[in-house]
């Protein structure tokens, strides 16, 4: 029986000794290149340097080793007598397995002091070429360290479903290379070329509507503790496309609330958020989970019915009871999903709905929210014929910043309410005006075509929910074109306004607030505008 051969060539040597030793124990012959060969030899693992296979050995200071016809013949030969005989005549082994990881190109690109020369030096050529040859030859292709244990287990099981398993490994290798090459193209073109390589990590029943099927959650390779693929479904039916889109919006909002409080007050309070169609219909900060939940659910009791909740603290049985019944005169509050760092089993049982229609999603990263939780990944939006790209919104309102223009003073409570209102406003569909009072959202006027309409809608939602707007604060995601919007708010008792400046009629708004004794704090629109979800 032909001796099986594996070719190992890795930049990060972590764990490669264990992988190679497991193969040799199973009777495999090991070939390795350069530093990998030296690492394995030092560990006492019988290894043949691939430089011994290639005509003339390594050249250009080991810059060219595996880019040789011998190596690629061993990877591309078919397992048929004619090809095997030709390999024998050339003295080249049939290579059954390739384990390659690539130079850390993305890490180099991310360095503040990266240069074209340093990026080129960290651009792997031999590794991607070997992976592609191995993929085409349908060898066992190990392109990610996490695959090594999976491959060893599959070999030990007798290689079940061999064709499908190899196809999967080959596809993964091609995706790794595509992403690698895309990073290089993006960098050297200064953004002229761009794209996304992602993996389907969850198949969804359908998209926004039942006719849009199938749908998928696709995850990019970058590790993010708040990425949706990190969510663990503890109970309930599988989340839908709409559920996941909503959860993504919630993460944007809670991370901005946390960042705002950490920046301005040095600590992150208990945060409770309720949303409907992506926009906050209840949001609160509090000194305790129960206080935050109670304020949140009363923000808009009508809208939160069938909504989704996100918390930055564990869901205990007590918290679940407040979510379920606080402020409810009859029956119980119905929720579609609750996302939190963790859940007590009794809480899940209490909140569960008939047909498992309430989803319980856990991610520990919610417990450690702060400025570092803001998503800096560029935002891509599909449009006909392509997509739009922009930097993510990571600006954080800083009440002490020198660029903030101040008319009047804010009390300590108003400062907290302004930060909360800003974070909600900047992560709701623009145009938006948001009202908060005593640590909670009382009215969110989202998605309006004019700013007066935003004010009127926010006030209507507040009064419909039974809130007194006297003494509340307001945040606007951009400037007021004229003073009619602020006048609408002030007439309803709003005591402080956060907005941007930039209107040719800013002076009218400023004079109005001075005359009416209302605090107006503004930051230039070019810095602090908070449009979202256009």
Q: Quick one: which H or E segment has residue 130?
A: helix 126-136
Q: How many domains does the chain have?
A: 3
Q: What number of other Cβ atoms are within 10 A of residue 511's Cβ?
A: 12
Model pLDDT, residue 62:
62
pLDDT tens across 281-295, in order? 999 999 999 999 999
Q: Are residues 157 and 275 in the same domain?
A: no
**Helix/strand/coil for 284:** strand
Of 108 and 35, more confident = 108
Q: Are residues 406 and 303 in the same domain?
A: no
Q: Are residues 368 and 423 in the same domain?
A: no
Q: Are residues 63 and 118 in the same domain?
A: yes
Of 375 and 66, more confident = 375
* Confidence check: pLDDT of 58 > 80: no
Q: Are residues 267 and 169 in the same domain?
A: no
Q: Give residues with Cβ within 8 angstroms of 157, minimum separation 6.
A: none
CATH of the domain at 143: 3.40.50.1380
Q: Are residues 48 and 155 in the same domain?
A: yes
Residue 209 lies in a domain: no
Backbone angles phi, psi at 180, to 5 degrees: -65, -50
Residue 220 lies in a domain: no
Backbone angles phi, psi at 211, to 5 degrees: -75, -15
Residue 215 lies in a domain: no
Residue 177 lies in a domain: yes
Residue 316 lies in a domain: yes
**Helix/strand/coil for 47:** coil
Q: Are residues 22 and 170 in the same domain?
A: yes
Model pLDDT, residue 57:
65
Q: How far, rounded to the nearest angstrom, does the alpha carbon of residue 260 sit from its chain's CA centroid?
A: 19
Q: Are residues 240 and 353 in the same domain?
A: yes
Position of tokens 């590794």? 127
Domain end among 132, 163, 188 = 188
Q: Are residues 343 and 424 in the same domain?
A: no
**CA-atom Rg of the chain in angstroms:** 29
Q: Are residues 369 and 401 in the same domain?
A: no
Domain end among 373, 408, 430 = 373
pTM to 2 decimal places: 0.92
CATH of the domain at 468: 3.40.140.20
**For range 401-412, the mean pLDDT:** 97
Max mean pLDDT among 212-226, 244-258, 321-335 falls in 244-258
Domain end among 373, 408, 425 = 373
Range of 428's domain?
Answer: 397-528
Rounded-to-integer distance, Cα 439 and Cα 370, Å: 18
Contact between 337 and 359 (Cβ < 8 Å): yes
- What count of residues does the chain have? 534
Rounded-to-integer distance, Cα 489 and Cα 340, Å: 35
Q: Which residues pair with 270 in a beta bridge?
A: 286
Residue 416 lies in a domain: yes
Rounded-to-integer distance, Cα 54 and Cα 458, Å: 73
Give the 3-state secondary structure of 54-111.
CCCCCECCCCECCCCHHHHHHHHCCCCHHHHHHHHHHCCCCEEEEEECCCCHHHHHHC
Q: How far, rounded to the nearest angstrom, does the alpha carbon of residue 472 sit from its chain's CA centroid?
A: 33
DSSP 8-state secondary structure symbol assigned to residue 12: S
CA dihedral sign of residues 78, 84, 85, 88: positive
Residue 534 lies in a domain: no
Rounded-to-integer distance, Cα 117 and Cα 119, Å: 5
Tell me the pLDDT of the chain averaged across its residues. Answer: 95
Residue 279 lies in a domain: yes
Alpha-carbon distances of 415 from 16, 437, 499, 528, rounded to whole Å:
54, 11, 14, 17
Q: Are residues 16 and 159 in the same domain?
A: yes
Q: Are residues 10 and 158 in the same domain?
A: yes
């Amino acid at each position: 029986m032909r001796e099986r051969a594996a070719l190992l060539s890795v930049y990060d040597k972590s764990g490669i000794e264990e992988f190679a030793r497991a193969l040799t124990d199973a009777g495999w012959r090991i070939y390795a290149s350069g530093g990998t060969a030296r690492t394995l030899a030092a560990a006492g693992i019988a290894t043949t340097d691939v430089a011994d296979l290639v005509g003339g050995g390594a050249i250009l200071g080991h810059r060219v080793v595996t880019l040789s016809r011998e190596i690629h013949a061993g990877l591309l030969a078919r397992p048929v007598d004619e090809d095997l005989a030709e390999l024998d005549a050339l003295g080249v082994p049939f290579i059954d397995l390739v384990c390659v990881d690539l130079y850390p190109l993305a890490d180099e690109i991310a360095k503040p002091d990266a240069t074209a020369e340093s990026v080129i030096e960290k651009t792997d050529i031999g590794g991607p070429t070997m992976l592609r040859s191995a993929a085409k030859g349908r060898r066992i292709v190990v392109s990610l360290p996490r695959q090594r244990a999976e491959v060893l287990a599959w070999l030990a099981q007798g290689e079940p479903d061999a064709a499908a398993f190899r196809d999967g490994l080959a596809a993964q290798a091609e995706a790794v290379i595509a992403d690698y090459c895309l990073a290089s193209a993006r960098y050297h073109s200064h953004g002229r070329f761009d794209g996304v390589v992602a993996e389907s990590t969850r198949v969804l029943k359908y998209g926004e509507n039942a006719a849009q099927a199938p749908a998928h959650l696709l995850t990019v390779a970058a590790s993010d503790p708040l990425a949706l693929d990190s969510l663990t479904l503890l109970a309930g039916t599988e989340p839908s496309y709409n559920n996941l889109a909503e959860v993504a919006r919630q993460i944007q909002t809670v991370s901005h609330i946390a960042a705002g409080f950490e920046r301005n007050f040095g600590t992150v309070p208990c945060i409770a958020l309720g949303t409907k169609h992506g926009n906050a219909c209840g949001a609160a900060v509090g000194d305790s989970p129960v206080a935050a939940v109670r304020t949140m659910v009363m923000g808009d009791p009508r809208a939160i019915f069938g909504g989704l909740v996100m918390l930055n603290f564990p869901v205990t049985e007590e918290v679940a009871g407040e979510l379920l019944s606080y402020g409810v005169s009859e029956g119980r509050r119905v929720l579609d999903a609750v996302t939190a760092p963790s859940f007590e089993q009794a809480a899940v049982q209490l909140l569960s709905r008939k047909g498992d229609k309430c989803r319980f999603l856990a991610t520990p990263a919610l417990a450690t929210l702060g400025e570092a939780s803001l998503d800096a990944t560029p935002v891509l939006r599909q449009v006909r014929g392509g997509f739009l790209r922009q930097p993510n919104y990571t600006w954080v309102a800083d009440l002490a910043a020198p660029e903030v223009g101040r008319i009047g003073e804010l009390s300590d409570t108003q400062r907290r309410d302004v930060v909360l209102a800003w974070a909600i406003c900047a992560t709701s569909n623009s145009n938006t005006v948001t009202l908060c009072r005593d640590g909670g959202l009382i009215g969110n006027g989202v998605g309006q075509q004019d700013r007066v309409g935003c004010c009127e809608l926010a006030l209507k939602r507040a009064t419909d929910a039974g809130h007194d707007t006297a003494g509340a604060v307001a945040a606007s995601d951009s400037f007021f074109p004229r003073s009619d919007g602020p006048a609408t708010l002030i007439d309803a008792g709003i005591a402080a306004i956060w907005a941007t400046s930039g209107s040719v009629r800013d002076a009218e708004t400023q004079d109005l607030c001075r005359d009416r004794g209302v605090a107006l704090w503004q930051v230039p629109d070019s810095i602090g505008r908070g449009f979202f979800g256009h």
